Every structure is written in C-alpha cells, then in structure tokens.
Amino acid sequence: MSRQSALVTGWIGVLLGLGLGVYLQSFLIGIPLLLFALQRYLTSSQTVELERLSIRSGIALTIATIATFGLYVFVIAAIHHVRF
C-alpha cells in the first residue's frame, strides 16, 4: 500500500467514525476518534514503518477488533435502551 493511499484510508476511517459518533450522539465513540483525528493531523507528515504481520497475528488482531466493535455496539445499544 502506498503512503498516500494509507493516509487517505486512515482519514476516511476517522471521518466515518466521527460521523457515527455524532449520529449516535455518543461520547464513547466521538472523543477517542476526535483525539485520534487530532493526532493524525499533527503528525500527518510523519509515518512509522510497520512490520508485516503473520497470518496468525492478523487473524488475532481481526478477531480482537471485531470483538471491540461488538462491545461498543452492545454498550451503546444498552445505554440507548435504558434511556427510552
């Protein structure tokens, strides 16, 4: 992946996450992504060389990411369910 496409992909992800946080009116999503966007903005000219993951590590990271997202959805749904 080129550096330019990695930067664009990262910003798209951050903006989509911020949009989701605003849409759901959730500080749980919005504040960490806002801080991440600020960090990306301040260090956009600097990149870190990443090491290639093994298949096993990539699968573990994917499962952890999906589980974290699922937990966020569960917590947000539970909070919204209690308020109504």
Does 57 share its domain with 46?
Answer: no
Does 60 share its domain with 43?
Answer: no
pLDDT (0 to 100) of residue 84: 46
pLDDT (0 to 100) of residue 64: 93
Instruction: Quick: pLDDT tens for 25-66.
Output: 877 777 888 888 888 778 765 666 777 889 999 899 999 999
Does 13 share its domain with 43?
Answer: yes
Instruction: Quick: pLDDT tens for 17-30.
Output: 888 888 888 777 77
**Structure tokens, 54:** 């093994």
* Residue that wins the pLDDT comparison between 69 and 33: 69
pLDDT (0 to 100) of residue 82: 64
Does 46 share its domain with 5?
Answer: yes
Does 30 share its domain with 70?
Answer: no
Exposed (0-12), middle (13-18) or buried (19+): which is 49, by Cβ within 10 Å? exposed
In contact, 72 and 29? CB cutoff 8 Å: yes
Number of domains in the chain: 2
Does 8 share its domain with 44?
Answer: yes
- Domain, as residue range, for 26: 1-50
